[in-house]
Every structure is written in C-alpha cells, then in structure tokens.
Amino acid sequence: MEELNQAIQLDPGCADCYYNRGVIYERREDFESARREFARALALEPLHVDALYHRAAAHRKLGDYAGAIADLEACLSATEDLPDVDRAHLEGLIQEIEAEAGPRAR
C-alpha cells in the first residue's frame, strides 16, 4: 500500500495505482474504501474493465445491487469482443445478483 501511495504522489493520474489500492482494500474486506478506489481509477480511465468488475463486487457486498448490475453491464458493453464463456460469466453474475436482490435489483 505504501508503494502505491508513493506512486500516486508521483503520478496522480495512474488509474492502475488506484485500482491496485482498491484490490488491497477488497482483500482486507474494506469494501467502502475499495469501491472508492475503483471509482477513482474509473474517473481516470472510464473503461477500466477490471476496476468495473471489482467495483461491482464491492457494490454487491455493500448491498448496492443496482450499482453492481450497472458496472457488470458496463463490463459487457466495454468488452463486446470477449469470448462467449467470459460474457456468459458476466451475464450469470448479473442474473445471480438480480435473484439475490429481488425487486430491489434495479
């Protein structure tokens, strides 16, 4: 984390640095901080698919099902050239979240 903080001081426009900080927070189960870091990465690089995917997971953990679905749908839109198996995985996650959330899904 310290190295990422230093890297951001040197280059505050490094989307991958914020993404990687988000991954660290996610592993620590600090999902609010993770979501914040993924959002920072996406502010710099709106089609950062890994940040979208991980922010969706953070949204889900925090009970923001609409946010999770929106990020996964953005992943699908940004990656139209993905193999069918990867697209099916994203679509399956969306269905899973919709089932988990019930009427609150969107």
User: Is the full-model pTM beyond 0.75?
Assistant: yes
Dist CA 88 CA 45 (whole Å): 25
Instruction: Write out the two tokens for 101.
Output: 């959330």
pLDDT in tens, 47-93: 899 999 999 999 999 999 999 999 999 999 888 776 666 888 899 99
Say which CATH architecture domain 2-105 belongs to: Alpha Horseshoe (1.25)
Smallest CA-to-CA distance from 30 within 67, 1, 52 is with: 1
The number of beta carbons lying within 10 Å of the beta carbon of residue 48 is 20
Domain ranges of the chain: 2-105
Query: Under DSSP, is residue 104 helix (H, G, I), strand (E, B) or coil?
Result: helix
